[in-house]
Amino acid sequence: MGYIKSEQDGEFNFEKLPEGDYFFSGKEGFVKVEVDKDGHQSWDLQNWFASLDPDKDEAQRQKIIQNIKKRLNANTGIINPSEKQKKNPFLNPFKN
Protein backbone atom coordinates (compact mmCIF):
# COMPACT_ATOMS: atom_id res chain seq x y z
CA MET A 1 0.00 0.00 0.00
CA GLY A 2 1.47 3.33 -1.01
CA TYR A 3 1.11 6.89 0.10
CA ILE A 4 -1.79 8.78 -1.50
CA LYS A 5 -1.20 12.53 -1.75
CA SER A 6 -4.26 14.72 -1.69
CA GLU A 7 -4.71 17.03 -4.66
CA GLN A 8 -5.94 19.85 -2.45
CA ASP A 9 -5.78 20.24 1.29
CA GLY A 10 -8.56 18.15 2.84
CA GLU A 11 -9.42 16.40 -0.42
CA PHE A 12 -8.92 12.65 -0.69
CA ASN A 13 -9.09 11.01 -4.10
CA PHE A 14 -10.89 7.69 -3.70
CA GLU A 15 -10.85 7.05 -7.43
CA LYS A 16 -7.06 6.59 -7.57
CA LEU A 17 -6.56 4.20 -4.65
CA PRO A 18 -4.12 1.39 -5.44
CA GLU A 19 -5.07 -2.22 -4.78
CA GLY A 20 -5.39 -3.06 -1.10
CA ASP A 21 -7.53 -2.79 2.02
CA TYR A 22 -8.14 0.58 3.66
CA PHE A 23 -9.69 1.35 7.04
CA PHE A 24 -11.13 4.72 8.04
CA SER A 25 -12.61 5.55 11.43
CA GLY A 26 -14.73 8.24 13.01
CA LYS A 27 -17.09 8.79 15.92
CA GLU A 28 -19.78 6.74 14.19
CA GLY A 29 -17.61 3.66 13.77
CA PHE A 30 -15.26 2.52 11.04
CA VAL A 31 -15.44 1.45 7.41
CA LYS A 32 -13.33 -0.89 5.34
CA VAL A 33 -12.70 -0.24 1.66
CA GLU A 34 -11.30 -3.09 -0.43
CA VAL A 35 -9.82 -2.12 -3.80
CA ASP A 36 -9.14 -4.90 -6.31
CA LYS A 37 -6.49 -4.92 -9.04
CA ASP A 38 -8.96 -3.33 -11.50
CA GLY A 39 -9.68 -0.44 -9.13
CA HIS A 40 -13.17 -1.58 -8.14
CA GLN A 41 -14.08 -0.65 -4.59
CA SER A 42 -16.07 -2.70 -2.10
CA TRP A 43 -17.28 -0.75 0.94
CA ASP A 44 -17.95 -2.62 4.19
CA LEU A 45 -20.30 -0.48 6.29
CA GLN A 46 -21.17 -3.12 8.90
CA ASN A 47 -19.52 -1.09 11.67
CA TRP A 48 -20.82 2.33 10.61
CA PHE A 49 -23.69 3.61 12.76
CA ALA A 50 -25.75 5.20 9.93
CA SER A 51 -25.86 1.89 8.04
CA LEU A 52 -27.19 -0.25 10.90
CA ASP A 53 -30.84 0.32 9.94
CA PRO A 54 -31.94 -2.87 8.14
CA ASP A 55 -34.39 -0.87 6.00
CA LYS A 56 -31.61 1.05 4.22
CA ASP A 57 -31.64 0.49 0.48
CA GLU A 58 -28.82 0.83 -2.06
CA ALA A 59 -29.55 4.52 -2.73
CA GLN A 60 -29.26 5.34 0.97
CA ARG A 61 -26.09 3.23 1.19
CA GLN A 62 -24.55 5.28 -1.63
CA LYS A 63 -25.51 8.51 0.18
CA ILE A 64 -23.72 7.23 3.30
CA ILE A 65 -20.60 6.42 1.26
CA GLN A 66 -20.63 9.87 -0.41
CA ASN A 67 -21.06 11.51 3.00
CA ILE A 68 -18.07 9.58 4.39
CA LYS A 69 -15.97 10.54 1.37
CA LYS A 70 -16.73 14.25 1.91
CA ARG A 71 -15.94 14.12 5.63
CA LEU A 72 -12.68 12.16 5.42
CA ASN A 73 -9.62 14.09 6.54
CA ALA A 74 -7.02 13.32 3.86
CA ASN A 75 -4.11 13.99 6.20
CA THR A 76 -5.15 11.73 9.08
CA GLY A 77 -7.53 9.17 7.57
CA ILE A 78 -10.08 10.04 10.26
CA ILE A 79 -13.67 10.76 9.32
CA ASN A 80 -14.72 14.12 10.75
CA PRO A 81 -18.00 14.34 12.72
CA SER A 82 -21.07 15.26 10.72
CA GLU A 83 -22.56 18.71 11.06
CA LYS A 84 -25.46 17.14 12.97
CA GLN A 85 -23.12 15.68 15.59
CA LYS A 86 -21.08 18.80 16.29
CA LYS A 87 -21.86 20.10 19.74
CA ASN A 88 -23.94 23.21 20.08
CA PRO A 89 -22.18 25.61 22.47
CA PHE A 90 -25.55 27.19 23.26
CA LEU A 91 -26.54 24.09 25.20
CA ASN A 92 -23.41 24.16 27.38
CA PRO A 93 -23.86 26.90 30.01
CA PHE A 94 -20.27 26.48 31.25
CA LYS A 95 -18.60 27.24 27.94
CA ASN A 96 -17.75 30.88 27.31
Look at residue 30 in the predicted model and tell me its pLDDT.
92
Question: Which letter, b or e, does each residue of 49-63 get, where b requires 16 or more Cβ atoms within 10 Å of its Cβ?
Answer: ebbeeeeeeeeeeee
Look at residue 25 in the predicted model and tell me its pLDDT.
93
Instruction: Estimate the share of the chain in helix, then strand, then coil, as percent rounded to the nearest 5.
Output: 25, 25, 55
Q: pLDDT tens digits, residue range 53-83? A: 777 788 888 999 999 999 998 888 899 998 7
Q: pLDDT tens digits, residue range 4-21? A: 544 444 557 888 889 999
0.85 surpassed by pTM: no
